[in-house]
Amino acid sequence: MAIPTYSTGNPAMDFFFILFNGIAEVPLFSSPITGILILAGVFLASRKAGGMMVLSGLIGAGIAIMAGASYDLVTFGLFGYNSILTGMAFWSGPFVKANKATFFISVFGAAITAFTWMAFAHLMGDMFVLNGIANSWAIPGFTSSFIFTTWAMMYASKRFGHDIWPAPAPPPKEELIKESGNPNTSNSFKWTAKEFMIATLKGVSQVTFVENWKTGVFWVVGLTLAFELAPFISGVQDRPWWTNGYTSQWDEFSPLYLAGLMALLGSGIGAAMAILTKLPTAETRMGLHGFNQVLVMIALTSFVPLTPQSFMMAVFATVGCSFLMPGLQRFFGQWGLPALTGPFVFTAWVFLLATSGFLNIPAGIGWSRP
Amino acid sequence: MAIPTYSTGNPAMDFFFILFNGIAEVPLFSSPITGILILAGVFLASRKAGGMMVLSGLIGAGIAIMAGASYDLVTFGLFGYNSILTGMAFWSGPFVKANKATFFISVFGAAITAFTWMAFAHLMGDMFVLNGIANSWAIPGFTSSFIFTTWAMMYASKRFGHDIWPAPAPPPKEELIKESGNPNTSNSFKWTAKEFMIATLKGVSQVTFVENWKTGVFWVVGLTLAFELAPFISGVQDRPWWTNGYTSQWDEFSPLYLAGLMALLGSGIGAAMAILTKLPTAETRMGLHGFNQVLVMIALTSFVPLTPQSFMMAVFATVGCSFLMPGLQRFFGQWGLPALTGPFVFTAWVFLLATSGFLNIPAGIGWSRP
Amino acid sequence: MAIPTYSTGNPAMDFFFILFNGIAEVPLFSSPITGILILAGVFLASRKAGGMMVLSGLIGAGIAIMAGASYDLVTFGLFGYNSILTGMAFWSGPFVKANKATFFISVFGAAITAFTWMAFAHLMGDMFVLNGIANSWAIPGFTSSFIFTTWAMMYASKRFGHDIWPAPAPPPKEELIKESGNPNTSNSFKWTAKEFMIATLKGVSQVTFVENWKTGVFWVVGLTLAFELAPFISGVQDRPWWTNGYTSQWDEFSPLYLAGLMALLGSGIGAAMAILTKLPTAETRMGLHGFNQVLVMIALTSFVPLTPQSFMMAVFATVGCSFLMPGLQRFFGQWGLPALTGPFVFTAWVFLLATSGFLNIPAGIGWSRP
């Protein structure tokens, strides 16, 4: 058994796993340690953000239990992360105001995200069954339910007659390169190793809409200490506490505790690509060109086994994601919406779908190829 | 056998069923009585609308027969409703002018909708086959073929050098709430029980682009009297005339003739949500925030068995649809297009897809779960 | 065996097939003769375009081999055509400037298109397996990977601080028909048979972003001479050189060398529909309303057997595509993007999906129906 069960039958322990695995699944694997450290990092940056993280994760899980979801999926944290992201985006994120109206929408959003998660998990997970149910060619839904739910709610709420969105800023003055349709983004800022590192760490913390390099440090440490802490369940499971959540889809005993490194690498590639393509420096410094890449690097090395080949593909995909991000930024930006983790989701889907036919990329653990 | 066959071999009877089942399928089930009452209600509001309803429904069915569709699907009415909606949207609806050019486009649209219907029925219906063809996890296509065909044709026809669209209105003056990006929609209108009921009935009639509360009454009565009138076919089918079309996917003998009530409930929830979120009062009074919700309530109680649990889910989905509607209204509105029944289709898809993993929601009648 | 193998084991021969089949697959079938003539026609119009055609096709194939794709797919040309289109669109097409920045993006785009191709081939090809892997209801991915990759890269690169896009043109002055929202496109140009033929031939050449009627002649001749030149492989394949690439999915010995005629017909229908719907004459004369229709006619007569019924459906679909084209033109045009072959892809998908349920349309060769 590669994946542990977290359903202990003890309400307090189950609650612990539901909460912290639900948070740890934001970066796509289950480890209560990772969840605790991420929550601590978020609380450090904003108590409001931390509170909403806990609340919306529990709402998602609660709705799922009421609707009759598999309890193992709930304790594994799978009904947490998307509800958390929806809840946070609509309350503690930098997008809408935090008031009574947005609080209700946020809570409703966390609840309905349990349904959209189940829908996308089914859609992507069960679409390909090439030879009976034993052979899964599944693709994970990732954070698709969060992004579609949140885009719809954000766009809808712009029509509401309640005070939800901040007053529109005056249209930015964009100076074009001479005889070109492209913006002139040159400025006097000089990138140093320190500034680059700060941007990279902020890129990690931006996964939950937080711009704070210290939160980023908590994330990286939490991702590294990806111990599964699988509960002992007599007759079912006797597994050491230190198995590796990041790798456990393909080898729970792998010593490669590299999720933190992958996050840094992804965020760093994103920042470097943003500098290379001359995107606005202010965005790069805020970490906006890092968070999608963080998730791409983690997803493409934990949903397929990490080998030199899959690592190379993950880096290539991360570079590709650095094209998709400004594309979707501009696309959603025209409607006053953020790109959220859309660039990550679409990039990861394309590369996992492609893996089905690219036999130099290892697979065969339930995703992409049987 | 839960679903009757309407293929009698008698051309006149088949024609009758093709026509009126095709109309009755607009609210998603087959009953000639329902079809007759809806058509009567539409004629009451506009002869042009009624005429196009008949014509486009027959065109869709005719094209399907020519292309070699299963005759049982045609007599059941399944090639009617989407063609009807496409034809009406492009001729008798409030969107484009009714003239020779739009008449031809409307007829062509009704014809091509037979192909898009078959495509979506296949796409959604056959995507999930988890364990051989005996076990269906199908999702209905609903009115997806109507909406995608109509959006494409409407948007295309804005480029045509023919007189199709009315002259553009001056841009509406939108007053914002102070220090907010949201519109100030407050006005002096006072909602009364009577006004609310009129808005609710108009919401029902708006399913076919008609704003007329009397048409809404015909709809509600027609939906309630959902008798299947299944023909007697010797050796094949001997079924009383009064079986319930609304419930026949899960129990044709159910005494729950509740489709009319569900429609009222859906439209009422939509109107209430529109008032709560302070959408423009004029839209709510016209029934624009009802018609998608009508279809959500009917779909989520007739494609899965109606139980307290599924009823609660349907209500929850209807509230969710009341977010998606203003979102898609704004989304398509920027291009001068209506949202059509897009909010209904996407909401119903998400909740039926989710039902596959939520075991407290009954299913197992060919949709969502085997 | 209907489809030949082109994997000879001889590097020089394999290279030959990879290159020219890759080009021939732009119009959706494999024939080195077709590939050579198309390349010649493109070189005639622009050396830059021809060079990028060769380079990007080889990049796509090289990446696919490195990633571990089936070698037979590579020599058949399937990793060529989408990479070619992406590369050409971003370098030698009429959209962006041709400079160092766009060259790098173009090469990167050709590389990543190998992944998006594999992803879409899997998505569309393996979505429907109604009764075990022996029965394929596959749908081809067509040029979907090219269009999605290129739209994303084009839109992203508008944000880059490099000189990529030409300076924005002043907004066109659009005169409306009196009391209408539609443009007044009437002008003094008189269509003659000669002008119509030039527009039709340009419509063919526009498949690779070239506006040159002589290139169109090379295309039509190349499409007609669709000899497969299948290599002799001892013990595997002994097939005459003159088998028909255009028809070989359903009958490699068919004497119907009609791909060139279908291309002309498609482009002609497109031009006629554009004149009928009064789209801007300048666009019709440039061939912009032909290239999608070329591909629809070829696709719907080579992926299903060509019979009077399927021919009628193909013509009907081509008329439908002539609605989708101005729709998508306007849709993507608002963001400064071209519609590319989007109208073709979506039209062909709808009609091949619909074919699954329309039994008067022949199928059963691996696409649409088993």
Q: pLDDT tens across A177-191, in order?
A: 999 999 999 999 999
A73-82, A162-171, B188-197 — which is least confidently predicted?
A162-171
> What is the distance in angstroms between the Cα of B254 and the nearest Cα belonging to chain C?
32
Q: Confidence class of residue B153 from pLDDT cuts 50, 70 and 90?
A: very high
List the single residue in C128, C182, C350 with the smallest CB-CB distance to B163: C182
CB-side exposure of C311: number of CA atoms within 13 Å?
10
Contact between B354 and A67 using a beta-carbon 8 Å cutoff: yes
Q: Which residue of C has its CA nearest to A311?
A: C67
Contact between B353 and A118 using a beta-carbon 8 Å cutoff: yes
Per-residue confidence (pLDDT) for residue A133, from 0 to 100: 66
List A183's β-bridge partners, or say none.
A176
What b/e string do you get for A43-55 counting C-beta neighbours within 10 Å, with b at 16 or more? bbbbeebbbbbbb
Contact between A137 and C115 using a beta-carbon 8 Å cutoff: no
pLDDT at B230 over 70: yes
Question: Could you report the per-residue pLDDT of B163-174, keeping only the tens digit for each?
Answer: 999 998 888 788
Question: Could you report the per-residue pLDDT of B92-123, keeping only the tens digit for each?
Answer: 889 999 999 999 999 999 999 999 999 999 99
Name the C residues in 67-86 with CB < 8 Å from any A CB: 67-70, 73
Contact between B132 and A127 using a beta-carbon 8 Å cutoff: no
Q: Confidence class of residue A169 from pLDDT cuts 50, 70 and 90?
A: confident
Per-residue confidence (pLDDT) for residue A259, from 0 to 100: 98
pLDDT at A236 over 90: no
Kindly give the interhelix angle for C47-67 and C81-89, rounded to the nearest 10 degrees. Answer: 130
Chain B CB contacts of C354 under 8 Å are 67, 114-119, 122
Q: Which of C327, C216, A265 is nearest to B159 (CA)?
A: C327
Q: Confidence class of residue B369 from pLDDT cuts 50, 70 and 90?
A: confident
Contact with chain B for residue C323, Cβ under 8 A: yes
Distance separating alpha carbons of residues B349 and B337, to the nearest angstrom? 22
Per-residue confidence (pLDDT) for residue A2, from 0 to 100: 80
Per-residue confidence (pLDDT) for residue C298, from 0 to 100: 98
Question: Could you report the per-residue pLDDT of C4-25, keeping only the tens digit for each?
Answer: 999 999 999 999 999 999 999 9
Per-residue confidence (pLDDT) for residue C271, from 0 to 100: 98
List the single residue in B68, B118, B164 with the smallest CB-CB distance to C182: B164
Task: Give chain B's mean pLDDT.
Answer: 95
Q: Mean of the pLDDT values across residues A306-311?
A: 96
Residue matched to tokens 């093709």:
B18
Question: Could you report the per-residue pLDDT of C180-200, keeping only the tens digit for each?
Answer: 999 999 999 999 999 999 999
Contact between B158 and C182 using a beta-carbon 8 Å cutoff: yes
> What is the distance in angstroms between the Cα of C171 and the nearest Cα belonging to chain A?
14
Q: Which residue of C has its CA nearest to A318?
A: C112
Contact with chain A for residue C47, Cβ under 8 A: no
Chain C CB contacts of A183 under 8 Å are 159, 161
Task: Give chain A's mean pLDDT.
Answer: 95
Mapping DSSP to helix (H, G, I), strand (E, B) and coil, where does residue C215 land?
helix
> What is the distance in angstroms between the Cα of B190 and the nearest Cα belonging to chain A?
16
Question: Could you report the per-residue pLDDT of A143-156, keeping only the tens digit for each?
Answer: 999 999 999 999 99
Tokens of C160: 């880059």
Evaluate whether C175 touches C183 at the Cβ level (below 8 Å): yes
> What is the distance in angstroms between the Cα of A154 and the nearest Cα belonging to chain C?
21
Q: What is the ipTM of this complex?
A: 0.95
List the single residue in A132, A323, A330 with the smallest CB-CB distance to C153: A323
Q: Mean of the pLDDT values across residues A264-280?
A: 98
Contact between C180 and B166 using a beta-carbon 8 Å cutoff: yes
Chain A CB contacts of C166 under 8 Å are 179-181
Distance separating alpha carbons of residues A81 and A27, to the nearest angstrom? 8
Chain C CB contacts of B163 under 8 Å are 177, 179-180, 182
Contact between B122 and C353 using a beta-carbon 8 Å cutoff: yes
Q: Mean of the pLDDT values across residues B130-146?
A: 85
Residues near B339 by beta carbon (within 8 Å), at least 6 away in sequence: B292, B325, B328, B329, B331, B332, B333
Per-residue confidence (pLDDT) for residue B133, from 0 to 100: 66
Question: Could you report the per-residue pLDDT of C298-333, keeping only the tens digit for each?
Answer: 999 999 999 999 999 999 999 999 999 999 999 999
Q: Confidence class of residue B129 from pLDDT cuts 50, 70 and 90?
A: confident
pLDDT at A1 over 60: no
Q: Which residue of B has its CA nearest to C352?
A: B119
pLDDT at B1 over 60: no
List the single residue in C137, C177, C327 with the smallest CB-CB distance to B155: C327
Contact with chain B for residue C162, Cβ under 8 A: no
Tell how far CA C205 is from the center of its chain.
Answer: 11
List the single residue in C179, C330, C349 with the smallest CB-CB distance to B158: C330
Chain A CB contacts of C108 under 8 Å are 319, 323
Q: Confidence class of residue A136 from pLDDT cuts 50, 70 and 90?
A: confident
Q: Which residue of A has its CA nearest to C119?
A: A354
Contact with chain B for residue A158, Cβ under 8 A: yes
CA dihedral C317, C320, C325, C328 (to 10 degrees): -110
Q: Mean of the pLDDT values across residues A236-243?
A: 92
Per-residue confidence (pLDDT) for residue A365, from 0 to 100: 77
Contact between B163 and C180 using a beta-carbon 8 Å cutoff: yes
Tokens of C338: 């071209």
List B166's β-bridge partners, or say none.
C180
Question: Could you report the per-residue pLDDT of B19-53, keeping only the tens digit for each?
Answer: 999 999 999 999 999 999 999 999 999 999 999 99
Chain A CB contacts of B316 under 8 Å are 111-112, 115
Contact with chain C for residue B158, Cβ under 8 A: yes
Per-residue confidence (pLDDT) for residue C289, from 0 to 100: 98
Contact between C161 and A179 using a beta-carbon 8 Å cutoff: no
Per-residue confidence (pLDDT) for residue B168, from 0 to 100: 87
> What is the distance in angstroms between the Cα of A213 and the nearest Cα belonging to chain C?
26
Per-residue confidence (pLDDT) for residue C366, from 0 to 100: 79
The CATH code of the domain at A11-165+187-355 is 1.10.3430.10
Would you say domain B11-160+187-355 falls under CATH 1.10.760.10?
no
Evaluate whether B172 touches B334 at the Cβ level (below 8 Å): no
List the single residue in A70, A112, A160 with the smallest CB-CB distance to B278: A160
Per-residue confidence (pLDDT) for residue C170, from 0 to 100: 85
The CATH code of the domain at C11-165+189-355 is 1.10.3430.10
Q: Which residue of A has its CA nearest to C123?
A: A353
Q: Which of B86, B85, B132 is nearest to B105 (CA)?
A: B86
Evaluate whether A224 touches A27 at the Cβ level (below 8 Å): no
Distance separating alpha carbons of residues B53 and B51, to the nearest angstrom? 5
Question: Could you report the per-residue pLDDT of B327-341, keeping only the tens digit for each?
Answer: 999 999 999 999 999
Q: Which residue of B has its CA nearest to A97?
A: B180
List B183's β-bridge partners, or say none.
B176
Contact between C130 and B127 using a beta-carbon 8 Å cutoff: no
Pick the residue of A129, A160, A337 with the most B CBs within 10 A to test the interface with B by mutation. Answer: A160
pLDDT at C1 over 60: no
Tell me which chains share at least 3 CB pairs under 8 Å with chain A: B, C
Question: Could you report the per-residue pLDDT of C53-69, keeping only the tens digit for each?
Answer: 999 999 999 999 999 99
